[in-house]
Amino acid sequence: DGGITQSPKYLFRKEGQNVTLSCEQNLNHDAMYWYRQDPGQGLRLIYYSQIVNDFQKGDIAEGYSVSREKKESFPLTVTSAQKNPTAFYLCAAGQFTEAFFGQGTRLTVV
């Protein structure tokens, strides 16, 4: 999937626990994104970063946090404040006219 690596592929979270999803890219793109996918709702933007050390909230940022300390890395933390975290999470990196997606991480609350 174009040099975007997400890990782990499957993740289980207990109630009240923070978990971090990894996203690494080797495409040298400035912009990176996190989307959440729920059945029938398409992709919703959580956070995006257009340059190192800077990021912006998307449409559904509550209960999530990110960092962008390196160009190639954009980890997403799902905090205990996110009340319904079970979903498929997709990371992407983009140039001006195209986005490249990772394989996704499926997060389940147990």
Partner 1 sequence: AQSVAQPEDQVNVAEGNPLTVKCTYSVSGNPYLFWYVQYPNRGLQFLLKYITGDNLVKGSYGFEAEFNKSQTSFHLKKPSALVSDSALYFCAVTDGGSYIPTFGRGTSLIVHP
Minimum CB–partner distance for residue 6 and partner 1 (Å): 8
Query: Phi and psi at residue 59, in whole multiples of 5°?
Result: -75, -25
The 10 Å CB-count burial string (b at 16+, else e) for 32-56 is: bbbbbeeeeeeeebbbbbeeeeebe
CB 48 within 8 A of CB 60: no
> Which one, of 22, 8, 10, 25, lies nearest residue 86 by Cα?
10
Q: Which of 34, 48, 55, 64 binds partner 1 (CB under 8 A)?
A: 48
Closer CB to partner 1, 1 or 62, in the complex? 1
Token pair belonging to 38: 């729920």
Q: Does 107 bind partner 1 (CB under 8 A)?
A: no
Q: Does 41 bind partner 1 (CB under 8 A)?
A: yes
Site for partner 1 in 73-102 (CB under 8 A): 88, 90, 92, 94-102
Chain contacts with partner 1 (rule: CB under 8 A): 1, 4, 6, 31, 33, 35, 40-43, 45, 48, 50, 88, 90, 92, 94-104, 106
